[in-house]
Amino acid sequence: MLEAFLVSVITMATPILLAALGELLVEESGVVNIGIEGAMLSGAFAALTIAYFSGSAGLGLIGAIAAGVALNAIFAVLVVNLAVNQVVTGTAVSILALGLTGVFYRQLFGVTGKAFMVAPIAKIPLGPLARIPLLGPVLFDHNALVYVTFLLVPVLWYVISRTRYGLRLRACGERPEAADALGLGVIAIRWQALLVSGALTGLAGAFLTLAYANTFVENISAGRGFVALSVVIVGRWNSWGLAAASLLFGAAMALQFGLQALGTVVPYQLFLALPYALTLVVLAGFGGQAAAPSALGEPYRRQ
Amino acid sequence: MLSSIAKPFAALALAAVLISIVLAALGASPFGVFAALGGGAFGSWYACVDTLVKSTPLIFTGLAVSIAFSGALWNIGADGQLTIGAIAAAAVGTHLENFPHAIAIVIVLAAGALGGAIWGGVAGWLRARRDVNEVISTIMLNFVAVQMLSWMVHGPLMEPSRAYPTSSPIASAAQLEFYFAPSRLNLGMLLAVVLAVACYSLLFNTSAGFELRAMGRNRRAATFFGIRIPALTVWVMALSGALAGLGGAVQVSAISHRLYEKLSPGWGFEAIAVALVARLNPLAVIPAALLFGALDNGSQAMQRTQGISPELVQVIQGLVILIILAFDTPAWNGLRENIFGASSDDAAAVPPVAEMPDA
């Protein structure tokens, strides 16, 4: 019971954390991308379609990366190069992806409602570690995406806060004019952050289709992209904080499945609303911008 | 003036070209698809009326978004505000059996507007007093509203037999009647049009509207003119929410008569496309909403005859928004000025959509 619950928490937290880590990079560079949901959906769709027709999960993952990167590239052209409003662009990108995946899905797989299943990507048990009672199955018996996601937490923390590149990234998010004056190339750095984030978000989508549902349904991401946005805020723009917030929200999601099955008096909607309500409380409590990069969301135009 | 009208049409035309390419790639006939969309939307008297019915919520949410965006308040939460308005209308509407029709209608609509105003006002207050970006708060409030609706129809407002996740129908006294039944023509559309005119005169003929637009152009400069930004922010967001909430109440009172999950198919997001095509002009919101309402209505027929999923409409929405944004950029405007000579008309008509103003 406990073991199944904890495994479910990790499964729920992984795609959210993966997408949130991508968004963290983007936000550190001074851009807010509320189109994560769209990149996630595109990744989910591309992964399933390619894995289904090629029979290769690996090709599916590559397709998911390509889809996420492509969508973020559209976003980057408008937001970074043309300095267009990031919020409206992000919304449009999400709507576009929701529409495109829906249309292509029906076109490729018909309207029969028949589920198109793929085999889940293989689990890689980590030798003897996976045989430890409780801890083994919960922590050391997952697919590669889970390990990569949680490994990225210390890696991104190190890159952002301890390397020269991280300093440049943060400079672009704090004072883009100053960063540009120092020759750091704000445009290039924001593009890089968005492309890496597109790859991570695409993979987060692939996790949903290739490791969780093993099929695609329209709007399969079901708001997870926006939960990732909350995770960045509740995690206070720190990758360790992001991991903690993802696990908390993953637990809330896992709990509501249990509650829905048990039919308790506590409305399960309370748990579904938790990530969003908690984000509001955290923002209202801490004041909105305290931990966020100063230039977050402001378009930067070179004069 | 010409270019401010021409731009949305150019954007729509370009979107149509891109959609045609996508359709051709899918092996469908673009001409057949557009003909099916048009036929489904305007092919008969009932189709035309249904287009009006489907456009009505888009006018309300389109106005909500236009008003907020005019003040550079990026309200992404019209969907949640509409949902809360619908919940409030249904919660009140089931208890109005013994009320006179006109009074019951007024109460239901007022409840919807109030619910939406609170949902929008909270985001305004968070922005004004706690420095919380309204984009994030309205997104979060959308999801909270979705869960609240789900809880309501599974819990407190669930119909008595408890077999279906819907509310009981609202009292017949609180229902807007249909004219020329079986058509679903009702007074909601008229109310939407009246409100569009009211919003236009608020925005362009009153000092409050001037302050709102000044805040939208440059928040910091507006403070120097003595405009009280925090109070204005709360009021604008509350008004924006009230408009969306009213849309939810009209939907419940006139069309659905009850609550159910996914009451809104995304009117609050489609509203962003409506508002941008209308260039945030409340009067232009009416034809823009009609256009997108027609697409929604025609999409069913398109699916039947052409086998293309109705989600194509969302592709169109997304493309139209992106193209209009790209057309609005300084780079593009600079290019056009170089080609056609500088024009000042855009400065008057163009809202600050292309730039996020200073916080």
Are the Cβ atoms of A223 and B143 closer than 8 angstroms?
Answer: yes
Partners of residue B307 in chain A, C-beta under 8 Å:
106, 111
Put simply, whether B319 touches A (Cβ < 8 Å) is yes
Task: Classify the phi-psi angles of B304: left when phi > 0, otherwise alpha if psi is within -120 to 50, otherwise beta.
Answer: alpha
Contacts of B148 in chain A (CB under 8 A): 269, 273
Chain B neighbors of A89, CB-CB under 8 A: 321-322, 325
Classified as helix, coil or strand, A143 is: strand
State the CB neighbour count (10 A cutoff) for residue B177. Answer: 12
Q: How many CB atoms lie within 10 A of CB A191?
A: 19
State whether residue B309 sits within 8 Å of chain A by CB.
yes
Alpha carbon B273 to its chain's center = 8
- Which of B37, B314, B327 is the best mutation test for A, with the most CBs of A within 10 A? B314
CA angle in degrees (0–180, nearest 5) for A197-A179-A169:
25
What percentage of residues in chain A have a pLDDT greater than 90?
A: 56
Radius of gyration of chain A (CA): 19
In which band, very low, low, confident or very high, does the pLDDT at B293 lie, cut at 50, 70 and 90?
Answer: very high
* pLDDT for residue B20: 93
Higher local confidence (pLDDT), B353 or B48:
B48
CB contact under 8 A, A269 and B317: no
What residues 96-155 of chain B have any CB closer than 8 A to a CB of chain A? Answer: 126-127, 130-133, 135-137, 139-141, 143-144, 147-148, 150-151, 154-155
Instruction: Note the pLDDT of residue B345.
Output: 40
The answer on pLDDT for B340 being more than 50 is: no
pLDDT at B348: 35
Would you say residue A288 has pLDDT above 60?
A: no
For residue B356, what pLDDT is reported? 39
Mean pLDDT for B214-221 is 88
Cα distance between residue B274 and residue B321, in whole Å: 9
Indicate yes or no: CB of A103 within 8 angstroms of CB of B315.
yes
| Closest by Cβ to B354, choosing from A85, A104, A105 | A85
Residue A302 has pLDDT above 50, yes or no: yes
**pLDDT, tens digit, 9 for 90 and up, residues A45-90:** 999 999 999 989 999 999 999 999 999 999 999 999 988 889 889 9
A132, A74 Cβ separation under 8 angstroms: no
A143 close to B (CB below 8 A): no
Distance CA A105, CA A49 (A): 9
Q: Which tens digits make up the pLDDT trace of A146-174? A: 999 999 999 999 999 999 999 999 999 99
- Structure tokens given for B221: 């400069």
What pLDDT does B337 receive?
A: 46
Over range B313-333, report the average pLDDT.
Answer: 81
Q: Is the pLDDT reported for residue A259 higher than 80?
A: no
Pairwise CB contact (< 8 Å): B319 & A96: yes
pLDDT at res. A128: 86
Q: How far apart are CA B172 and CA B94, in angstroms?
A: 9
Give A142→chain B minimum CA distance, Å: 30
* Residues 12-51 (A) with a CB less than 8 A from some CB of B: 32, 34
Predicted confidence (pLDDT) per residue in A89-103, tens digit: 999 999 999 999 999
pLDDT tens, residue by residue, B89-99: 999 999 998 99
- Global ipTM: 0.90
Residue B35 has pLDDT above 70, yes or no: yes
pLDDT at res. B1: 43
- In 3D space, the residue among A179, A172, A209 whose CA is nearest the CA of residue A194 turns out to be A172
Count other Cβ atoms within 10 Å, centred on residue B147: 20
Distance from CA of A209 to the nearest CA of B (A): 20
Q: Which of B53, B67, B106, B111 is closest to B86 using CA atoms? A: B111
Residues composing chain B: 359
Is B269 within 8 Å of A229 when comparing Cβ atoms? Answer: no
pLDDT tier at A289, thresholds 50, 70, 90:
low
pLDDT of residue A110: 75
Q: What is the per-residue pLDDT across A205-215, written as a single tens digit (0 to 9) for each? A: 999 999 988 88
Instruction: Provide the pLDDT for residue B228.
Output: 93
Which pair of structure tokens corresponds to residue A294? 């100063």
At residue A14, does pLDDT exceed 60?
yes
| Nearest residue to A68 via CA among A42, A34, A100, A103 | A42
A with B: how many residue pairs have Cβ under 8 Å apart? 183
Task: Inspect the interface and report whether the beta carbons of A85 and B325 lie closer than 8 Å.
Answer: yes
DSSP label of A217: -
Residues 68..97 of B with a Cβ closer than 8 Å to A: which?
74, 76
Q: How far is it, in rounded angstroms, from Cα A103 to Cα A218?
A: 9
Q: What is the pLDDT of residue B3?
A: 63
* pLDDT the model gives residue B4: 67
Rg value, chain B, Cα = 21
- The Cα–Cα gap between B135 and B278 comes to 21
pLDDT in the model for residue A135: 84
The residue written with tokens 């990758």 in the block is: A239
Instruction: Give CA–CA dist A119/B316, Å, rounded.
Output: 34
Q: Which pLDDT belongs to residue B56?
A: 96
CA distance A19 to A24: 9
CB atoms within 10 A of CB A33: 32
Spatial distance between the Cα atoms of A104 and B317, rounded to a whole number of angstroms: 16
Contact residues for B214 (Cβ-Cβ < 8 A; gap 6+): B221, B222, B225, B227
Question: Could you tell me what percent of chain A has a pLDDT over 70?
Answer: 96
CB contact under 8 A, A96 and B332: no
Provide the 3-class DSSP secondary structure of residue A2. helix
Residue A132 reports pLDDT greater than 90: no
